[in-house]
Amino acid sequence: MALTGLVLAGFVLGHMTGNLLMFKSPAAINAYAKWLHENVALLWTARTVLIISVFAHIWVGIQLTLENRAARAGGPAAEATRRATIGSRTMPYSGVVILGFVVFHLLHFTLKAVALGDVAYGDDVYKMVVAGFSCKTVAVFYIISMLLLCLHLSHGVSSVFQTLGLRNERWRGRLDVLALAYAWIVALGFISIPLAVLTGCLK
């Protein structure tokens, strides 16, 4: 779980950073997208690692969920469950919504299987993103999904520290704050784009 968590956490941070080029200029985000597609070997290596990590993450997540439910029968494990944070309690549910979002997001922007209106954008990624988020339903779904991602990451990253043996009593509070800060940075970075489109800052 720790390895897949690290891979996915690193990916979302990198993906968010690339997406923020929307605020630099249309040429910047389009050049970034072109560079990615021109480096086919790098792109498909990354995609393969991500696909494997996602399926492994889902499998381990299901196992942990079943184990946690079994532990609620009583004893120390049940007490730990009662003390759990909202992030840990909602991991299975936020995970399902995020998975649904990822599928839609791929259909929307990668496979272009979701209609984006009458805007002709061709290979212009900037126009494609603006057209996509000009639909309020899509933008709101994206924002809600990113808030759930924040919740998911805040617990997930904290758990990675614990799995690696770094989350002792001395560092627990600091690492939890670090995990929460990371989660909010990623979520707000992603959310800033549909908000900018809805408010007319990006058009």
* pLDDT at position 147: 93
Distance between CA atoms of residues 54 and 7, nearest Å: 9
Distance between CA atoms of residues 71 and 113, nearest Å: 43
SS3 (DSSP) at 90: coil
* pLDDT at position 69: 72
* pLDDT at position 13: 92
Distance between CA atoms of residues 106 and 152, nearest Å: 20
Distance between CA atoms of residues 91 and 25, nearest Å: 36
Low-confidence ranges of the chain (pLDDT < 70): 1-3, 68, 71-84, 87, 115-120, 164, 166-168
**Cβ distance 109 to 131 under 8 Å?**
no
Q: 167 CB contacts (<8 Å, ≥6 apart)?
A: 158, 161, 175
Which two structure tokens, joined as six digits, stand for 15?
């993906």
In one letter, which amino acid is 52?
Answer: I
Among the listed residues 74, 59, 68, the one whose alpha carbon sits nearest the alpha carbon of residue 88: 68
**For 154-175, how does the pLDDT look when each residue is reduced to its tens digit (9 = 90+)?**
888 877 777 767 666 777 778 8
Q: Which residue has the tokens 């941070």?
A: 13
Among the listed residues 103, 85, 104, the one whose alpha carbon sits nearest the alpha carbon of residue 150: 85
**Cβ distance 183 to 157 under 8 Å?**
yes
The sign of the torsion formed by the CA atoms of 60, 66, 71, 72 equals positive
